[in-house]
Structures are given as C-alpha cells and as structure tokens.
Amino acid sequence: MASGYLITGGLHIDGLMDTFDGIFAGKKKRLKAMKDSKVGSFGVQALVFITLIQIACILKIQNLVIFVLPICLFWGRFSNLFFIEKFKYLSYKKKSVSHKKFWNGFKKESLISIIFLLIFIAYQFVSITSQAILIKFLILILIGIFLSYFIPNILGKKIGGFNGDACGASVVLVETAMLFMHAILL
C-alpha cells in the first residue's frame, strides 16, 4: 500500500479524501470543498476506513497478494475510462485542461486495456488446473467489469460529473472493492 502511495505521490488517495469531503459538503459547496487544500473530517474517515479494509484484505490474501494486486490495480484504472466516457468534466476554474480534451472515445481508449485483459484471461485458461479456481477467476472478472462501471457511475451522479479528484476516488474505491472480493472468494 505504501509503495502505491509513493509511486503516485498519494494522488489517488488525495482524490478519495477530497471527493468524500465534497460529497458530504452538500451540493452548493461540493466543488469548493473538493478544491480546498485542507482535508475535512469525511476525507479523513474515508482514508482510515479504506486503509483498514485494504490491510485486512492483504492479511487475508497473504502470499497471493503478488498475483491479486495487479488485477485490482488494473480494474481501478480501467474504471476511469467509463467515468470519462459517461460524464462531463467539472472544473474548479474557468480555464482547465480536461481528460476529455484528448479523449478519443471509449473504444479507442480502452483497446490496449482490453487486449491486455484478453491475454491475461487466455493465460489463466491455460494455466488453471482446477475447475473451481477457474469459476472463481471468471466470477472475479465479471465483478471487475461491474465494479469498474458501477462505482464511477455512482460517483459521477453524486457529484454531477467527473474531475481529477473523482477519478482518483474511483481508482481507490474500485481497487479496494476488488481486493475485498478477492479476499472473500480466495
């Protein structure tokens, strides 16, 4: 977990905290709360709960974490493709660069990710020897697709669009939900 925070500079976890502060600030103060450089109580609570859930899941998964973590990271980042495709960009300031400015549509943007996913699935079909493990694997793939769509959809409707903070929150929430699902099913 700490290595992920160091690699990203805490960008996604900051987005999670800012998004939760914004959601609970109310509709009129939402963007102002998300823009504020100070973390509010809801942001801190989100950080604590997410961190505790992630630690519990990693302790449950133990040695499989090296295989599970890349899958969770994949789905977390894939969720932003749905987010950007479906919602309008919310800006804190008048002139702001959005992911939408360079957006080529979901099909083009997701092509590399889908190819990677198909290669990974094919490899798993070849290497998995137990039918029970194969069924769990397929269930986790379906759950990943569902969560990658469902979580940004909820966030987008709640805040009325997307921005960098909401994308970061989506990454963290999907990663954590997938980690939790792996901990339950493995």
For residues 157 and 145, give the distance between their C-alpha atoms in angstroms, rounded to a whole number.
19
With b meaning 16 or more CB within 10 Å and e meaning fewer, what string describes 171-180?
bbbbbbbbbb
- Closest to 50 (Cα-Cα) out of 34, 72, 35, 29: 72
Distances (CA, A) of 7 to 93, 162, 168: 27, 23, 14
CA–CA distances in Å: residue 164 to residues 17, 19, 51, 64 = 12, 10, 21, 31
pTM of the model: 0.90
Q: Give pLDDT tens digits along the chain (186 positions).
A: 778 788 888 899 999 999 999 999 988 888 888 888 889 999 999 999 999 999 999 999 998 888 898 899 999 999 999 999 999 888 766 655 666 778 888 999 999 999 998 998 888 888 888 888 888 888 999 999 999 999 999 999 999 998 889 999 999 999 999 999 999 997
Quote the CA–CA distance of 151 and 147 in Å, as a whole number: 6
How deeply is 150 buried, as exposed, middle or buried, from its count of CB atoms within 10 A (0-12, 13-18, 19+)? middle
Q: Is 98 exposed, middle or buried (0-12, 13-18, 19+ CB in 10 A)?
A: middle
